[in-house]
């Protein structure tokens, strides 16, 4: 398994929540054993699908842009340098409220899985 990933070698794909993800380290493809590390991209004006993960705890770190994040019953304004923890079972989504692409570094433990992503109705 690879212990190093080059950004340009990590293919981007769309996740269940509608964000574009580039897995930089994942047990299915790289040397990580129990966690994943990825970059999420949300284009201007886009809101990801409200969802939760039953098993994974996520940490988001904003590296570009600004957003409005729904995190359980709370709404957070987020921008470059902010770090947010999303505990398992917490409904969440994010809206890019700026004019530039919103970029988020996402760490998940256990590693991200489509099967652990449950889409929820927006209320």
pLDDT single digits (tens) 91-108: 999 999 999 999 999 999
pLDDT in tens, 42-100: 999 999 999 999 999 999 999 999 999 999 999 999 999 999 999 999 999 999 999 99
How many degrees, rounded to 5, is the angle at CA 49 between CA 11 and CA 24? 25
For the CA atoms of 74, 80, 86, 92, the dihedral, rounded to the nearest 10 degrees, stands at: 50
Domains and CATH numbers, the chain: 9-118 (2.60.120.10)
92-96 sheet: strands from edge to edge:
74-79, 66-71, 92-96, 51-53, 117-119
Q: Is 1's pLDDT higher than 80?
A: no
């Amino acid at each position: 398994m690879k212990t190093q990933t080059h950004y340009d070698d990590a293919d981007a794909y769309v996740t269940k929540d509608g964000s574009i993800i580039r897995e930089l380290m994942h047990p299915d493809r790289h040397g990580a054993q129990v966690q994943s590390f990825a970059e999420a991209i949300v284009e201007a004006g886009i809101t990801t699908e409200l969802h939760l993960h039953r098993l994974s705890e996520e940490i988001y770190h904003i590296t570009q842009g600004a957003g409005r994040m729904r995190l359980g019953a709370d709404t957070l304004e987020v921008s470059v340098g902010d770090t947010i923890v999303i505990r398992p079972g917490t409904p969440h989504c994010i809206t890019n409220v700026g004019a530039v692409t919103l970029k988020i570094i996402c760490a998940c433990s256990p590693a991200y899985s489509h099967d652990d992503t449950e889409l929820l109705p927006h209320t």
